Amino acid sequence: MSRTLGLLIGAAGVVAAVDLAHKAHAISTEGGAVLTHDRSAHYTVGLAAVSLAWAGAIALTRSTSISLAGGLVLGGAVGNLFSMVLWPSMPGVPDPIVAGGIAFNVADVSAVLGLMLLVPAILVFTVRNRDRLFEPL
């Protein structure tokens, strides 16, 4: 379990660091004129709680592929959570990337990519570990 937890935390840390560095660069070069999406305090607390539960559940699987994909999702959540702490004067989470009229950030891309990788990883894990599916925790 420690290997999967290490991979999960490592992947999440890299994603969050890249996301926060990108946002900081965009804010500094654009003088703070970056699009944002508002998030309430309830959303922030809920996301933090779900992220902790997510990390625990993934660590229990002891699956490298699920840990890596889950780390991408977790890193996106952490990047957006820390954005609200690091830039409290902004009216939400900075979204410095704009494409096709949609504003987003590296954390958002990472979360979507992680979910896309997570589905096949879970299916493969389920097939390979059918006997473990009904084990008590």
**Rounded distance between C-alpha atoms, residue 85 and residue 67, angstroms:** 26
- Sequence-separated (6 or more) residues with CB below 8 Å from residue 60: 1, 137
pLDDT of residue 32: 66
pLDDT band at 137 (very low <50, low <70, confident <90, very high): low
pTM of the model: 0.86
What are the start-end ranges of the E strands in the chain? 35-37, 93-95, 97-99, 102-104
Return mean pLDDT, the chain: 89
Every domain of the chain and the residues it spans: 2-130
**Bigger pLDDT: 33 vs 47:** 47
3-state secondary structure at position 98 = strand
pLDDT of residue 34: 83
